[in-house]
């Protein structure tokens, strides 16, 4: 099997490449091809690699920057995805694309399933939703995996190189108190677990839209407490509200996803978020 991974140097892309280490793997990033160049994308996929599977983990996902520069956000998250989908359709490759929980809006009280109506609140979310629609229109053999709150072992460049776990540990070590919001609920998702899930659904799943996060839900404050507990880190953790950290960018207050499509096919292998955190901490200690 020939697999092409885009965004291969990113936090998730690195884990996806590791998950496909036993196949003929082609790993590319922005230094290899600019996905906004439709001709370059087609040449890479159709003429050069001729893959059986393309996994697109590349995205413009710095939410504030997307708000400032909508043109770039839509170019990377929508138009480039369309070009990739067209190229995959042309050469018969399956396309797996990463979506986001941010396509949903305010007011939810239970986890979203794939059939729930999106209501994006910001440019990033709107551009990612547009990419989903363009992909589905251009490539029949596709898998869209919406996920949430990723953290992993490789640096997240868009967020200064630190994931949330690393940020909390750094704040605990350098500040007398750490304040984290209690009113934003999500599901932290470990990239290594997601990469394993991605490979399974890419090989076994029917085409279509999937939610793929760790199971369970928590506030960012609850996640921070779990991080300090699992790492035996002393920290003065205080509760805060999103109003304490005003932002010009609207974000969903509840964006928990249920992996219903995976569950319906018997393919959901995602761990509970607390178990995944334990796996991450163990891996960090042995690395």
Lowest-confidence region among 61-75, 123-137, 155-169, 234-248? 155-169
Q: Is the pLDDT of residue 159 over 70?
A: no
Domain ranges of the chain: 2-154+188-216+256-274
Q: Is 124 a catalytic residue?
A: yes
- pLDDT-derived band of residue 204, with 50, 70 and 90 as boundaries? very high
b/e burial code for range 103-125 (CB count within 10 A of at least 16 → b): bbbeebeebbebebebebbbbbb
List, as one string, the DSSP characters of 2-14.
EEEEESTTSHHHH
Residues comprising the chain, all counted: 287
**Any idea which fold 2-154+188-216+256-274 has?**
Rossmann fold (3.40.50)
Q: What is the pTM of this model?
A: 0.95
The one catalytic residue among 124, 151, 210, 254? 124
3-state secondary structure of 185: strand
Return the DSSP state at 47.
I
Average pLDDT value over all residues in the chain: 95
| pLDDT 10s digits, 107-124 | 888 999 999 999 999 999
* Integer Cα distance of 179 and 264 in angstroms: 39
């Amino acid at each position: 099997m020939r697999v092409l991974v885009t965004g291969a140097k990113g936090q998730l892309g690195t884990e996806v490449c590791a998950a496909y280490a036993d196949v003929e793997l082609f790993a590319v990033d922005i230094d290899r091809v600019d996905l906004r160049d439709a001709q370059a994308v087609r040449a890479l996929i159709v003429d050069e690699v001729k893959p059986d599977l393309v996994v697109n983990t590349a995205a413009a996902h710095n939410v504030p920057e997307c708000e400032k520069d909508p043109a770039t956000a839509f170019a990377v998250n929508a138009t480039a995805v369309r070009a990739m989908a067209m190229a995959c359709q042309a050469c018969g490759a399956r396309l797996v694309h990463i979506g986001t929980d941010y396509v949903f809006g305010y007011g939810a009280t239970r986890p979203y399933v794939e059939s729930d109506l999106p209501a994006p609140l910001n440019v990033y979310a709107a551009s990612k939703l547009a990419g989903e629609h363009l992909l589905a229109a251009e490539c029949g053999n596709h898998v869209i995996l919406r996920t949430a709150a990723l953290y992993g072992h490789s640096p997240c460049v868009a967020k200064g190189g630190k994931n949330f776990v690393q940020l909390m540990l750094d704040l605990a070590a350098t500040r007398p108190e750490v304040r984290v919001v209690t009113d934003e609920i999500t599901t932290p998702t470990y990239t290594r677990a997601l990469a394993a899930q991605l490979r399974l659904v890419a090989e076994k799943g029917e085409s279509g839209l999937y939610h793929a996060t760790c199971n369970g839900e928590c506030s960012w404050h609850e996640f921070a407490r779990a991080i300090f507990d699992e790492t035996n880190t002393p920290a003065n953790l205080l509760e805060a509200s999103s109003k304490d950290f005003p932002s010009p960018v609207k974000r969903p207050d509840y964006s928990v996803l249920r992996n219903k499509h995976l569950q319906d096919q018997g393919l959901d292998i995602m761990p509970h978020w607390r178990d995944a955190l334990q796996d991450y901490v163990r891996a960090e200690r042995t690395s």
